[in-house]
A = this chain, B = another copy of it.
Amino acid sequence: MQTNLPLNFKDKLDQFTEQWSPKVIAEMNDYQFKLAKLQGEFVWHNHPETDETFIVLHGKMTILFRDNSIDLNAGEMFVVPKGVEHKPVAKQECHILLVEPRGVTNTGQTSSNLTAENDIWI
């Protein structure tokens, strides 16, 4: 549901506790902005059809790649290129804003018990 109100990240983050379960807060054309809470280790996966943007709002996370890794702190972002295998991890709970096309599943081509229902709005 699109609104005419400012979208406040903290207010929206307060509305859910689930980890690894992105919630849509806005759409821009056919792209979505999703908030997510991460802690622990995600699964290796990739998105063959699209880049994926991670913006860290609170805490810190690491994105593992097969041959290196990148540490992201609050106030930092990174775009994972399409098709590149990656695995997000976070020791402490980390809050992020994801930007990607509508319809992207969090685990990409990988089937996992961490695969979240898609297109859940808050």
Using a CB–CB cutoff of 8 Å, the interface residues on chain A facing chain B are 2, 4-10, 25-29, 31, 33, 50-53, 57, 68, 70-73, 75-79, 82, 99-101
Contact = CB atoms under 8 A, between A and B. Distances in A.
A52 B28 contact: yes
26 contacts: A4-B68, A4-B70, A5-B70, A6-B76, A6-B77, A7-B76, A7-B77, A8-B73, A8-B76, A9-B75, A9-B77, A25-B77, A26-B79, A28-B50, A28-B53, A28-B79, A28-B99, A28-B100, A29-B51, A29-B82, A29-B101, A31-B31, A31-B99, A33-B53, A33-B79, A99-B99
How many identical chains are in the complex? 2
A26 B101 contact: no
